[in-house]
């Protein structure tokens, strides 16, 4: 499975492509950052992010896209920019019919380092080790994008099994009858 990881951001949007399957050595295919000028209007920055992600999708043709799930921070302005960049990544993937997976930062850190509270240096060190790189990808946004892709590759089989089990349980469950359509049966003579 080839996964494009996207660490969304308005100034630096990390992108990284990892190929592999759970339980086997993984391979980094590409890593980088889509940059936009901080003084440009947000609408123009989002267009640049779209163009950058589309270029990565064209070049690397991933099977799916893993995007960092936006979480609440104290700085609303930062959250808004991250959410907007995240939406652009999801839109680019959906337009091509690619599945999109969202992973929280702590989920990614736990998958890659074993601790949901790992710092950026620890994530970079583990990405370097897991992908057998000579040095950690720079900037940290690029390493985070690779970590997202790794997390998805490792978690996707378990998530797929869970989704299949839930779908099977729904199919096996008896059809429910709407409460308004139920009538209480009157007792029959001689049954009491």
Distances (CA, A) of 50 to 35, 36, 167: 11, 11, 34
pLDDT, position 140 = 95
Name the nearest CA neighbour of 92 among 160, 34, 42, 157: 34
Among all residues, which ones are annotated catalytic? Answer: 7, 68, 141
Query: Per-residue confidence of the chain (192 residues) as pLDDT tens digits?
Result: 999 999 999 999 999 999 999 989 999 999 999 999 999 999 999 999 999 999 999 999 999 999 999 876 677 777 888 999 999 999 999 999 999 999 999 999 999 999 999 999 999 999 999 999 999 999 999 999 999 999 999 988 777 676 677 878 888 887 655 555 555 555 555 554
pLDDT, position 149 = 98
pLDDT, position 178 = 55
> What angle, rounded to 10 degrees, do the helices at 140-172 and 120-130 form?
80
pTM of the model: 0.83
Enumerate the β-bridge partners of residue 127: none
Residues 149/49/11/116 CA torsion (nearest 10 deg) = -20
pLDDT, position 156 = 81
Q: What is the end-to-end Cα distance of the chain in Å, rounded?
A: 65
Sign of the Cα torsion 36, 137, 19, 148 reads: negative
pLDDT, position 186 = 55
How many angstroms separate the CA atoms of 105 and 90, rounded?
17
Coil, strand or helix: which one is 190?
coil
pLDDT, position 192 = 46
How many angstroms separate the CA atoms of 92 and 128, rounded?
28
Contact assessment for residue 143 and residue 18, using Cβ atoms and an 8 Å cutoff: no
Cβ-Cβ contacts under 8 Å for 43 (sequence gap 6 or more)? none
Place of tokens 């990284």: 16
Run of H or E residues at 35: strand 27-35
How many angstroms separate the CA atoms of 83 and 108, rounded?
17
């Amino acid at each position: 499975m080839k996964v494009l990881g996207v660490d969304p951001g308005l100034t630096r949007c990390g992108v990284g492509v990892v190929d592999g399957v759970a339980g086997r050595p993984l391979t980094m295919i590409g890593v980088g950052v889509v940059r936009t000028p901080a003084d440009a209007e947000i609408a123009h920055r989002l267009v640049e992010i779209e163009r950058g992600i589309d270029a990565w999708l064209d070049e690397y043709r991933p099977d799916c896209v893993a995007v960092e799930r936006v979480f609440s921070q104290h700085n609303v302005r930062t959250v808004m920019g991250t959410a907007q960049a995240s939406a652009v990544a999801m839109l680019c993937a959906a337009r091509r019919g690619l599945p999109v997976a969202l992973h929280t930062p702590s989920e990614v850190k736990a998958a890659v380092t074993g601790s949901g509270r790992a710092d950026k240096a620890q994530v970079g060190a583990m990405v370097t080790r897991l992908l057998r790189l000579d040095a950690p990808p720079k900037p940290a946004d690029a390493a985070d994008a690779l970590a997202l892709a790794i997390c998805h590759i490792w978690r996707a089989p378990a998530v797929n099994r869970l989704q299949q089990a839930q779908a099977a349980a729904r199919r096996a469950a008896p059809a429910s009858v709407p409460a308004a359509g139920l009538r209480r049966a009157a007792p029959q003579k001689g049954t009491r």
